[in-house]
Structures are given as C-alpha cells and as structure tokens.
Amino acid sequence: MLVDTKEMFKKAYEGGYAIGAFNVNNMELIQGIIAGVAEKKCAVILQVSKGAREYANAIYLKKLIEAAVEECPDIPIAMHLDHGADFDICKQCVDGGFTSVMIDGSHHDFEENVRLTKQVVEYAHSKGVVVEAELGKLEGVEDDVKVASGEGSYTDPDQAVEFVERTGVDSLAIAIGTSHGAFKFSGDPKLDFERLEVISSKLPKGYPLVLHGASTVIPEFVELCNQYGGDIPGAKGVPEAMISKAAKMAVCKVNIDTDLRLAMTGTIRKAFMDNPSNFDPRKYLGPARDAIKDMVMHKLDILGNVNTL
C-alpha cells in the first residue's frame, strides 16, 4: 500500500528501530529492494533524487513504484523525494502523487532555510503530503549534493527546536558526523551521539529524526568492485554498530544509496569478467538484482526493522 511516513515513523520511534530509505534509479533496484523488504516483513521508503528523475524519467519511476505497491499490497511503501532543491520540484512531486518530499535548504542561511521549508510544508500539507527538511550541512558528494571537506556543519540543538517550531516540518535530517558518498572518514569514524541525544530531548517526544550519508560502505563490496576493474581505493563508511545505535535512539529514517550502488556495480563487473562473451542484460542485471535484495536484507537487520508489520 502507498502511504506517508507518519505511522511508520511512530512505530519505529516506539519500537527502537529505523525505516530503511533506499534510493531507486531503475527497475532492478526497485525489484531487489521490494524482494528484501517482503522477506523481512517491514515498511520501506523508496526515494527518488533529482538525478534519478532526470535519468529514468519521473513517470517511469512512479509507475515502477506503483508496480511494487500492486505486487506487495500488504507492505507499507512511502514514495519520497530525496534532496528536493527548491519549491518547484517539491510541488511537482506533491502534485505527481508522492507521499513524502524532502526540501533541502541546508545550503542556505538559517532564515532562508526556514522560509523555504515553511513554503513547502504549507503546500504539501494542504495536499496531505508530509515533509522532511535538513538543518546542518553534510560533507561529501552524492548526485547534486556537493559539499567540500571542511565546509560541513553540525546541527545546533537550539536551532533545531526553533526550526521545527517555525516550519511545522514533519521530520528533520540532522548532521552529526555522517557524510555523502563512499569516502566518509579519513581517520577513525565518529558520530556525535551526545548531540543526537540533546536534539532529541529538546524536541517533542516522538519527533522523528533522519540520518543521511549513512551507508556503511561494506569493504567486501569495495573489494569486489576493485577486484574486477574498479578504482575506488580508500572508501570507508559508517560502522554498522553506529548505525544500529542511532536507530535505537530517535533516528527513525536512515538513507541508503552508496551501498546499493556498490553491490550492483561490483556484481555486474564480476559478471562481465566471468563471462566476457555474454551480451544478454538479463544475465548480469539478474545477479545484480539478487545482490540488491541481499544488501537490503542485511541493512534491515542493522536497522532492527524486521517483522515489524
């Protein structure tokens, strides 16, 4: 069933787990994600970035997600816009049937972020759509999000309270040390759990927080990519134990994109090398789809989101 995130976040907060929010770009990704979610019996967020809309065409992605809803009518599925850059793209998605949108004004100053977020909230809420926003700035590169090292900023707890009160936003992505892309840490990984606890304690009880840039960049898949012709040395993600800890706190949604890319790309690279005479896309996209399913099931275990329907 196609739903918004209100009920799934409420259950996640009370149950001490987080909902997996998986970025989708094509059919195999959606099929692999839904297969994993169906086996783990839990709700899911399928999220679409601006880059995905440009690559696959927004109509095709919407229809693929609708196919997933039809195939698995008992699974709560939210269709979410990831990192909406302005009011116009959020409006397009609200009008186009999305059940949730993110307006990312984190690159603006505080007052402009408040103004822009409030504008999106007022329009989305009038159509029954929920809104996520971001306060604080994550470093790294992912699609159109590009923040250089040293230019990020952690979320200020007092500003978070003011921001939520003034905008009426339904959930808030915070910056506590995660970053976008496959190269998250040059030294020892560290997340500011004390900051997370303070933000949560200052906001109304049950208010859902969101963690972006939280892929764990599993070494096995980095090595798989590199073994079969890839060139991504030094990739390092957030340790799984840290993600599990955040999911037991007030984090109700964890974004996962890089790990899906690594699983799909590594599997396809291996298929090409193992059978260079093959030119049937089904013979390499099929195994890639299976790898996505396995990755999703692994992630759901980390998030604690298993048998939660």
pLDDT at 152: 56
Any residues with CB less than 8 A from the CB of 252 and at least 6 apart, and which?
8, 9, 12, 13, 18, 19, 171, 208, 209, 210
Phi-psi label, residue 159: left if phi above 0, alpha if psi -120 to 50, beta otherwise? alpha
- Other beta carbons within 10 Å of 167: 24
Tokens of 135: 């306060």
Phi-psi label, residue 218: left if phi above 0, alpha if psi -120 to 50, beta otherwise? beta
Q: Is 82 a catalytic residue?
A: yes
Going by C-alpha positions, the residue among 123, 60, 114, 115 that lies closest to residue 90 is: 123
pLDDT at 187: 60
Q: Facing residues of 236 across strands?
A: 183
pLDDT at 234: 74
Residue 88: exposed, middle, or buried by beta-carbon count in 10 A (0-12, 13-18, 19+)? Answer: exposed
Going by C-alpha positions, the residue among 35, 29, 57, 23 that lies closest to residue 264 is: 29
Task: Please tell me the pTM assigned to this model.
Answer: 0.92
Given the residues 82, 156, 257, 259, the one annotated as active site = 82
Question: What structural domains and CATH numbers belong to the chain?
Answer: 6-303 (3.20.20.70)
Going by C-alpha positions, the residue among 90, 87, 108 that lies closest to residue 99 is: 90
Each residue's pLDDT, cut to its tens digit, for the chain (309 residues) gives 999 999 999 999 999 999 999 999 999 999 999 999 999 999 999 999 999 999 999 999 999 999 999 999 999 999 999 999 999 999 999 999 999 999 999 999 999 999 999 999 999 999 999 999 999 977 544 455 544 444 458 999 999 999 999 999 999 999 998 876 655 455 677 889 999 999 999 999 999 999 998 778 888 888 899 999 988 877 778 899 999 999 999 999 999 999 999 999 999 999 999 999 999 999 999 999 999 999 999 999 999 999 999
Going by C-alpha positions, the residue among 13, 1, 11 that lies closest to residue 210 is: 13
- Other beta carbons within 10 Å of 57: 11
pLDDT at 149: 46
Please state whether beta strands 139-142 and 145-147 pair in parallel, antiparallel, or not at all (unpaired).
antiparallel
In the 8-state DSSP scheme, what is residue 236? B
In the 8-state DSSP scheme, what is residue 266? H
pLDDT at 139: 57
